[in-house]
Amino acid sequence: MSLSDRLRDISSLVLLIGLIGSVRIGVAQSIGDALPLAVPGFAVAPGVTALSRLHRDDLPAGIALPGFPPDVDVYPSLGAGIGGDSAPGAGQAASVVGQIQPAVRLDDAALGLVMYAGADLTRYGHDGAADSNDISAGAGMEIPLGPETLTLGAARVATQDSALGLTQSGGSAPFGVVVDAVRLAVRRPVGAFDVTARIAATQAGLSVIGGAVPPGFRARTSLTTGATIETADDAVLRWLVTGHVDVVRYRDAVAGAGFADGDDLALIAGVETEPAAVTRVRLLAGVVRQAFAAGTVRDVTSPVVSAGLGWAPDGLVSLELDVTRDAGLATTLGTPGTAVNTARLAIAEAYARNLLFTFGLDARSGVVANRTATEIDATVAAHLQLSRSLTIAPSLLVARRHDLPGSAPREARVMLLLIWSR
């Protein structure tokens, strides 16, 4: 997710956390990461939350649509940025970067509906091979049905990707990825517990950007079904047990690249504090059993774990730390049957109501093309709100990568964004 996407997330007054995906250990390839605001049905990775607590008078007011109920508000925004990138792609020279980022969000409080559509149009002055048109759109609803809650979500994301994760912190990536997803979940209280059943279908298609190495497959389709039992929301500590089954099929997989049709079964259990706590803790652990088509890749059982720590003593300070070891057929674009390790740190501190500084560190490692690849992104940014509608946001990204096909081993990107929102 680029910095500008995170800034659009900041402008959201209400953050709705989706049911589906929130109990999956993996965060490396959550389509919710690629959506710049929380859409019901899609999880949001841990990150800076302090900016979502700006004073109400500082938030975009939205536009009421003529002829629509008063509960329906539309929030348009337009971002424009310029900067420089030391390595738009592997073997490419430094270049000036320009970005245009239109977006619109619709909230219907009465229906529990959130809709979003946006684009990130990036152009490089030195080499147009790395130009990209990232487009994301999503819609989701939370529908109360007596004691039950039905959550529906659908999304389409066209973005850039490295082999270690669906989203980027703002750096260049060698693959174009188009992901379509639909999700459904039903949550029902049963005594002292909440029970959630869910089903999701996802298709990801890959293409090559800027002459990068071809990916190990051209398309992947997955069907996921699962259920979760957890203690009710009013408990200080919430215990949970969750399981899911993935059925994954590949199209145009490269022979010998390690991609093969298969299924996986996961069983995960753990404990977490309620989301609104000043200090938040999460500890989940379990196993994933991956089975592949006969004669392709050997079956494997992998331990998985996720630990998280959050601290938000007030609306102006926030810290999030997340460490994850994940496995599964639909985890990343890396080699199936292997684990992916992810660590994320996000810190925010405001020195005034309209000025906030953030620091983010995102590290991941996994097996790609039979080698252990690593990527570390560090981002420093500021968010200065000049008025209710105008924001200026400078940022610096520094990335280091090792054995990551198609990606530059070192990259630095500096950007200055001006964001108008209504």
pLDDT at 283: 94
CATH number, span 3-387+397-421: 2.40.160
Q: Residue 241: its pLDDT value, please? A: 94
User: Is 341 within 8 Å of 322 (Cβ atoms)?
Assistant: no
Q: What is the pLDDT of residue 7?
A: 32
Residue 346: closest CA among 289, 390, 308, 384: 308
| pLDDT recorded at residue 169 | 56
What pLDDT shows up at residue 35? 65
**247-272 residues labelled b (16+ CB within 10 A) or e (exposed):** bbbbeebeeebbbbbbbbbbebebeb
* pTM, to two decimals: 0.81
Per-residue pLDDT tens for 248-274? 998 888 777 778 888 989 999 999 988
The ranges assigned to domains in the chain are 3-387+397-421
What pLDDT is attached to residue 37?
60
Distance CA 81, CA 419 (A): 9
Are 268 and 23 within 8 A, CB to CB? yes
pLDDT less than 50: residues of the chain: 1-29, 45-53, 166
pLDDT digits 0-9 by tens, 182-192? 999 999 999 88
Contact 96, 82 (CB under 8 A): yes
Closest CA to 233 of 186, 200, 267, 189: 189
> Using an 8 Å Cβ cutoff, are 316 and 347 in contact?
no
